[in-house]
A and B are shown apart, each in its own frame.
Chain A
């Protein structure tokens, strides 16, 4: 397989994952603004931060309003992480690697692009927002379904999966990092409605508010929430789960190619750290410091993968 093809698959799936995660963040933000009394515009500040675009947003918009934020996150092509930009980039990468995709996967991606381009062509009214978010999630789900149902389990598949999970680990850790202070034991008042509400919003932004209840008996405790999203290997958006998948996919590539790279050691070390650590250790190290360190190691791994598999040269 061409290095450029591996690169294209990797980024195609990173962008589609990101588009879905941005939609989820907007969903959580919307939920917050619906359930909270009074002005909600500053709640969007946190959403923009979680999406990693707060600063860039400030360069385009003088005032922060819900409408501005939503528009910037969903439609603005000047924002490279907006849903529309992600879908554009994801589909461009898919076109580039089209010969590597099954017809089903390509068509699901192309139809996603066709529908969203039309849907996001004009400003979204508040009343239409839930439906729009639904369409984005559904379309991303169709791509995933076509991909899982039809792709050969070979190196093409491995690079696609690695892209998905590097992006997801990045997204989950950013969501946690923006809200890390509400998870610190010192400042939280267990049982207060404000905290419950903040916690629920974190869980909602990774679509985990229901599953959390199953695992931790529906009782919001900050350490449990952090444990769920960082260390619980059964939670499909947790850092530990993402690294299980990254390491196994890198393992298939190693077996297939008979070649081991720096990336294998880096990924293995991160996985071990997540497997052996307890949430107590994480809190002792400092949640914010832990997440910052994780984000930078995750980026380093991404660079090592593109180096080892000759994505660019």
Chain B
């Protein structure tokens, strides 16, 4: 919130004045009120492996993170460029594979990757769109220095928190929204529905019928699935509701079976179709891939998009962006060492205490080593794992992440954050001005994942 001279940074000026006039005890009380709102609404998530604490609240911090219109414009341009490149890359590797032929990416990296689906080769999804919904994770290290940490191009989660955080803030501090001109995020569900419906398959005659596919109430993100179906005004379906009939995917209704045209699936590729992928999957729909390939359903995001946000591919993103857009990337990649390469592995092993080492296929902050905060023994153990399977890991420097203020009992304190804006792709790219700010609640911590004790904040993008 403050700059080097201890004065409020530009976008925080109005908020800072307001904050200074507030009674601290009152704010602590408001913070509790917010928690009650979340509990009452049932905005919870499940932590796997905790049987007795199966529903948890994600801690919510009531101090918004504020981004100026100027800062946002740069971010938005960079994100759009990157998302267009991702789609072009997917289209290429499932068709002509020019980027491989040009020698910019090793063939083995694509074809030996579990996230690459040979079933998608030669198939063009409706509208040529692979990633209908993207959540790009971004961190900031300086006034104008942004890095992309991850491109979540499979099924990015958390957008319900972006919307509920805003709703909660507007309920609790209406006056802040008259003092500050904050850009709207509330249209996300309408835009999502429009965007999905505009990419109906060729076999759809008439008004496209959209549905959200969830693994069910025990899934960690179930709240979000029901929230999205509810706010879009579409059915929330499970695999057991669906079957393939007459070449279409149909859902069992109280009046009989009715066709679905666009399926926003929140189920991983592996579980989507037991006839094509994992035969033991009870979450999917046997035969849906055949319907998909014959142009009678749109699946969002397309199967096989996971190859584009794989951590091993990530390190090639600057080349990918340049290859397909012909321009230098606007947003930077975090420098990344691929441990599969002997030189890099050597460097990483020698500098473990400075680096963050991640599993190539991991997510949720599991299975990673944060060098600077790890113990000697943890580092030594991790080095053994690295040597055993180097291709499984990448390493990155620990960035000096920016901090934003959070409310603590003694007032405010700085904590590290990242930002996940949400992007919708149809015939155009739409980026919702805002996103999910995740914050590491422990002092000094760099891990913001909700499964590891991170919290969230409302994210404001101001108007000019």
Residues of B within 8 A of A310 (CB): 252-254, 256
Query: In the complex the two chains form, is B251's CB within 8 Å of A106's CB?
Result: no
Q: How far is the CA of A257 from the CA of B254 in the complex (A)?
A: 9
Query: In the complex the two chains form, is B252's CB within 8 Å of A95's CB?
Result: no
Query: In the complex the two chains form, is B42's CB within 8 Å of A95's CB?
Result: yes
Residues of B within 8 A of A253 (CB): 254
Q: Which range contains the number of B residues in contact with the other chain?
A: 20 to 34
Residues of A within 8 A of B39 (CB): 114
Q: A142 contacts the other chain (Cβ, under 8 Å)?
A: no
Query: In the complex the two chains form, is A110's CB within 8 Å of B237's CB?
Result: no
Q: A98-B226, A310-B254, A313-B252 are in contact. Are A4 and B238 (CB under 8 A)?
A: yes
Q: How far is the CA of A106 from the CA of B42 in the complex (A)?
A: 9
Q: How far is the CA of A4 from the CA of B214 in the complex (A)?
A: 13
Q: Which residues of B in the span 170-226 have a Cβ within 8 Å of any Cβ on A?
A: 216-217, 222, 226
Residues of A within 8 A of B256 (CB): 310
Query: Min CB distance, B235 to chain A, in Å?
Result: 6
Q: A107 contacts the other chain (Cβ, under 8 Å)?
A: yes
Mask of B247-288 contacts with A, CB within 8 angstroms, 1/0:
000011111100000000000000000000000000000000
Q: How far is the CA of A238 from the CA of B236 in the complex (A)?
A: 37
Q: How far is the CA of A303 from the CA of B216 in the complex (A)?
A: 24
Q: B53 contacts the other chain (Cβ, under 8 Å)?
A: no
Q: Which residues of A in the span 121-155 have a Cβ within 8 Å of any Cβ on B?
A: 155
Query: In the complex the two chains form, is A2's CB within 8 Å of B237's CB?
Result: yes
Q: A281 contacts the other chain (Cβ, under 8 Å)?
A: no
Query: In the complex the two chains form, is A2's CB within 8 Å of B241's CB?
Result: yes
Query: In the complex the two chains form, is B255's CB within 8 Å of A259's CB?
Result: yes
Q: A95-B222, A99-B229 are in contact. Are A2 and B252 (CB under 8 A)?
A: yes
Residues of B within 8 A of A2 (CB): 235, 237, 241, 251-254
Q: A4-B241, A96-B217, A110-B40 are in contact. Are A257 and B255 (CB under 8 A)?
A: yes
Query: Min CB distance, B170 to chain A, in Å?
Result: 15
Q: How far is the CA of A2 from the CA of B240 in the complex (A)?
A: 11
Query: Min CB distance, B51 to chain A, in Å?
Result: 14
Q: Tell me which of B217, B229, B253 contacts A1 (CB under 8 A).
A: B253
Q: How far is the CA of A310 from the CA of B240 in the complex (A)?
A: 12
Please name the residue on chain B nearest to A1 by beta carbon. B254
Q: How far is the CA of A3 from the CA of B237 in the complex (A)?
A: 10
Query: Min CB distance, A308 to chain B, in Å?
Result: 9
Query: In the complex the two chains form, is B254's CB within 8 Å of A6's CB?
Result: yes
Q: A111 contacts the other chain (Cβ, under 8 Å)?
A: yes
Please name the residue on chain B nearest to A111 by beta carbon. B40
Query: In the complex the two chains form, is A99's CB within 8 Å of B235's CB?
Result: yes
Please name the residue on chain B nearest to A308 by beta carbon. B254
Residues of B within 8 A of A111 (CB): 40
Q: B6 contacts the other chain (Cβ, under 8 Å)?
A: no
Q: Tell me which of A95, A99, A106, A313 contacts B217 (CB under 8 A).
A: A95
Query: Min CB distance, B256 to chain A, in Å?
Result: 7
Query: Min CB distance, B213 to chain A, in Å?
Result: 12
Q: A96-B217, A99-B229 are in contact. Are A4 and B240 (CB under 8 A)?
A: yes
Query: In the complex the two chains form, is A110's CB within 8 Å of B42's CB?
Result: yes
Query: Min CB distance, A104 to chain B, in Å?
Result: 11
Q: A92 contacts the other chain (Cβ, under 8 Å)?
A: yes
Please name the residue on chain A nearest to B233 by beta carbon. A99
Please name the residue on chain B nearest to A103 by beta carbon. B41
Residues of A within 8 A of B238 (CB): 4
Q: A4-B241, A106-B42, A111-B40 are in contact. Are A99 and B236 (CB under 8 A)?
A: yes
Query: In the complex the two chains form, is A98's CB within 8 Å of B230's CB?
Result: yes
Query: In the complex the two chains form, is A309's CB within 8 Å of B252's CB?
Result: no
Q: Tell me which of A4, A96, A110, A114 contacts B252 (CB under 8 A).
A: A4
Q: Which residues of B in the span 3-52 have a Cβ within 8 Å of any Cβ on A?
A: 39-42
Query: Min CB distance, B52 to chain A, in Å?
Result: 12
Q: Which residues of A in the span 78-124 have a Cβ within 8 Å of any Cβ on B?
A: 92, 95-96, 98-99, 103, 106-107, 110-111, 114
Please name the residue on chain B nearest to A106 by beta carbon. B42
Query: In the complex the two chains form, is A92's CB within 8 Å of B217's CB?
Result: yes
Query: In the complex the two chains form, is B41's CB within 8 Å of A3's CB?
Result: no
Query: In the complex the two chains form, is A107's CB within 8 Å of B254's CB?
Result: no
Q: A96-B217, A98-B226 are in contact. Are A107 and B40 (CB under 8 A)?
A: yes
Residues of B within 8 A of A98 (CB): 226, 230, 236
Q: How far is the CA of A98 from the CA of B238 in the complex (A)?
A: 13
Residues of B within 8 A of A3 (CB): 241, 252-254
Please name the residue on chain A nearest to B216 by beta carbon. A96
Q: How far is the CA of A12 from the CA of B180 in the complex (A)?
A: 43
Q: How far is the CA of A238 from the CA of B230 in the complex (A)?
A: 37
Please name the residue on chain A nearest to B242 by beta carbon. A2
Query: Min CB distance, B10 to chain A, in Å?
Result: 37
Residues of B within 8 A of A259 (CB): 255
Residues of A within 8 A of B216 (CB): 96
Q: How far is the CA of A313 from the CA of B251 in the complex (A)?
A: 11
Query: In the complex the two chains form, is A107's CB within 8 Å of B41's CB?
Result: yes
Query: Min CB distance, A122 to chain B, in Å?
Result: 16
Q: How far is the CA of A1 from the CA of B40 in the complex (A)?
A: 26
Please name the residue on chain B nearest to A96 by beta carbon. B217
Please name the residue on chain B nearest to A253 by beta carbon. B254
Query: Min CB distance, A248 to chain B, in Å?
Result: 18
Q: Which residues of A in the span 264-313 have a Cβ within 8 Å of any Cβ on B?
A: 309-310, 313
Residues of B within 8 A of A107 (CB): 40-42
Please name the residue on chain A nearest to B211 by beta carbon. A2
Q: How far is the CA of A313 from the CA of B41 in the complex (A)?
A: 31
Residues of A within 8 A of B230 (CB): 98-99
New A-B contacts (6) at CB < 8 Å, excluding given A4-B252, A107-B41, A310-B256: A3-B254, A4-B238, A95-B222, A110-B40, A259-B255, A309-B254
Task: Return 27 A-B CB contacts under 8 Å, by A number.
Answer: A1-B253, A2-B235, A2-B241, A2-B251, A2-B252, A2-B253, A2-B254, A3-B241, A4-B238, A4-B240, A4-B241, A95-B226, A98-B230, A98-B236, A99-B226, A99-B229, A99-B236, A107-B40, A114-B40, A155-B254, A159-B254, A253-B254, A257-B255, A259-B255, A309-B254, A310-B252, A310-B256
Chain A contact residues, CB within 8 Å of chain B = 1-4, 6, 92, 95-96, 98-99, 103, 106-107, 110-111, 114, 155, 159, 253, 257, 259, 309-310, 313
- Interchain residue pairs A-B with the least CB separation, the first 3: A99-B230, A98-B226, A309-B254
